Structure 1
């Protein structure tokens, strides 16, 4: 009987471990791994990127619109990569290498990604709030 309990306990532990891994990867949750990893409280890197964006943008309303987009797109993860499209970074540039126009450190520097994202939102939508309005209507920008 003890042998059967040990086998049952090991299988139960293996199933629980697999469920935990699937949940952490976003598979069972139906979200991307980048979003699954960032759905909890912001990490210090995300908080730092948010502080940087606040300083760079200045206007509270425009920052909030920018933040709404970045929260949805990457969860404030500067290395977030969309598995299907390859979009990259805080603002999910496609291709990510477009951000090189804002700096050669585009892959690792949130400030460079924020600068590029602001330039993109301002040139295409007039402002981050214009981009956010479009995002709300289409779920992309």
Structure 2
């Protein structure tokens, strides 16, 4: 009787342990699924935010060409082209690189324009008028910052650490 009772008690303990293990595994599975769902949601939100930071208001071609531009006109163009949440970072870089002079030329390197593209001719990918049109330079600079650093603020973070970007 005692051996049978001991076996029954052991079987009951084993059944309880098995049930607890199954419940623990189910909990872990649910937690993992919830974590994956949260990570997927965060990834989608970051992708949407990144897309929003990359999309710009006006395109470079929507500004009428002029023979020259004041700093305030160039800044106004940038405010319309650069996403609002990224403008200050973009502005910080341009302030340091060219003080908003779209004809700024680095005598030693040949870097040119608002964002000091090197070689300057790279900006031709944004428009043939890159030498004289600040909107074309803004377009190229914004694309460069987005492609290389994820955003103007990513570029500004790098600039602060290295004094170049």
Which TM-score band applies after superposition, normalised by the shorter structure? 0.5 to 0.7
User: Are 2:75 and 1:50 aligned?
Assistant: yes
Equivalents in 1 of 2:72, 2:98: separation in Å? Answer: 13
Give ranges in structure 1 of 5+ residues lacking alignment.
Answer: 1-43
For the aligned residues, what is the CA RMSD? 0.9
Equivalents in 2 of 1:58, 1:118: separation in Å? Answer: 10
1:121 maps to 145
TM-score (norm 2): 0.58
Displacement of 1:74 after TM fit? Answer: 0.2
Measured against aligned partners, the alpha-carbon deviations of 1:103-122 in whole angstroms (never above 9, x if no partner) come to 00000000000000000000
The structure whose RCO (Cα within 8 Å, separation 6+) is larger is 2
User: Are 2:99 and 1:75 aligned?
Assistant: yes
TM-score (norm 1): 0.67
Displacement of 1:57 after TM fit? Answer: 1.1
Give ranges in structure 2 of 5+ residues lacking alignment.
Answer: 1-68
Give matches, 1:1-141, under 5 Å.
Answer: 45-59=70-84, 61-141=85-165
Measured against aligned partners, the alpha-carbon deviations of 1:7-50 in whole angstroms (never above 9, x if no partner) come to xxxxxxxxxxxxxxxxxxxxxxxxxxxxxxxxxxxxx6111110
Displacement of 1:55 after TM fit? Answer: 0.4
Count of aligned positions = 97
